[in-house]
Amino acid sequence: MAYQMHSFETASLLAAALADRVAAALSAAIAARGDATLAVSGGSTPKAFFEALSSRAIDWPKVKVTLVDERFVPEDNPRSNHLLVKTHLLKGAAAMAQFVPLYRPEATIEDAAITASGIVPGMTGPFDVVILGMGTDGHTASFFPGGDHLTAALDLTLPRRVMTMEAPGAGEARLTLSFSALQDAGLLVIHIEGAEKKSVLEKATAGTDEAEMPIRAVLERAATTPEIYWAP
Ligand SMILES: O=C(O)[C@H](O)[C@@H](O)[C@H](O)[C@H](O)COP(=O)(O)O
């Protein structure tokens, strides 16, 4: 398992350092290409990081932001990751970023996945920055143990795409970017906090079964060496 570990004394120190790191990566992409792409995860962990990043001096109108995954609910639903990002990241200067949601009110979630695959950034080439979280079951993105499309999601012979996922631990049906769309990001971060998740990470690094702990695919097979940002 190859990864780079960054440990911080507090969550707020981590948030500031990760915001600086991501801001530098996005600004470098803008300087090189004229634009930048960022995919972020939802859940509860990233809030302080989002708040810190929202205040960084980046040429935000040139940044395309999307989600690593989304619960299949409208953006006014409290479970929506779009709502989370709109509340904590897309404000202040960052409100000028170009946000592309995964959820759309199509007839079926499969239709929504097809539509999203045609318009979200990162479908024709690597993201500049991907921020992943991890659940205590070892899932990341919506790559959940027992997921109905988990094998395909982790299959690097399949194209970059948005796909559907249903799993016992996922709650709502999910839309998720495929591993092929995430694993070659310029900067690939796993952001986790707390003692429990550190021990989950240690369990993940002690084994190889990706179906049991899908985070192992990122730790073992990503083209980009993942950088783990952890605070107690
Ligand atoms: O939609 C989601 O829930 C996320 O994208 C998911 O993959 C998240 O990163 C982990 O579940 C960790 O969530 P917490 O930060 O809430 O522990």
Q: How far apart (Å, rounded) are the C-alpha atoms in residues 188 and 219?
A: 10
Global model pTM greater than 0.80: yes
* Res 2: pLDDT: 86
Q: How far is the CA of 213 from the centre of ligand 1 (A)?
A: 14
* Res 1: pLDDT: 65
Atom of ligand 1 nearest to the CA of 69: 5
pLDDT classification of 219: cutoffs 50, 70, 90:
very high
* pLDDT tens track for 107-154: 999 999 999 999 999 999 999 999 999 999 999 999 999 999 999 999
Question: For residue 213, which of 149, 139, 141, 134 has the smallest C-alpha distance?
Answer: 139
Instruction: Answer whether residue 72 shows pLDDT above 90.
Output: yes
Q: How far is the CA of 81 from the centre of ligand 1 (A)?
A: 9
Q: Is the CB of residue 190 below 6 angstroms from any atom belonging to ligand 1?
A: no
* Res 209: pLDDT: 98
Q: Is the CB of residue 135 below 6 angstroms from any atom belonging to ligand 1?
A: yes
* Res 172: pLDDT: 96
C-beta separation of 158 from 152 below 8 A: yes
Q: Is the CB of residue 140 below 6 angstroms from any atom belonging to ligand 1?
A: yes
**Ramachandran category for residue 225: left, alpha or beta (phi over 0 → left; psi -120 to 50 → alpha):** beta
* Res 192: pLDDT: 98
In sequence order, what are the residues at sequence separation of 6 or more whose Cβ sits closer than 8 angstroms to the Cβ of residue 128? 25, 26, 29, 36, 37, 38, 185, 186, 187
- Percentage with pLDDT > 70 across the chain: 100
Question: Ligand 1, residues 50, 67, 134: which to mutate, most atoms within 8 A of Cβ?
Answer: 134
Q: How far is the CA of 94 from the centre of ligand 1 (A)?
A: 22
pLDDT classification of 206: cutoffs 50, 70, 90:
very high
C-beta separation of 33 from 39 below 8 A: no
Look-up: residue for tokens 């470098």? Answer: 28
* pLDDT tens track for 162-194: 999 999 989 999 999 999 999 999 999 999 999
Q: How far is the CA of 145 from the centre of ligand 1 (A)?
A: 14
CA distances from 129 to 152, 186, 190 (A): 23, 6, 11
* Res 135: pLDDT: 98
Atom of ligand 1 nearest to the CA of 197: 17
Task: Please state, rounded to an integer, the average pLDDT across all residues of the chain.
Answer: 97
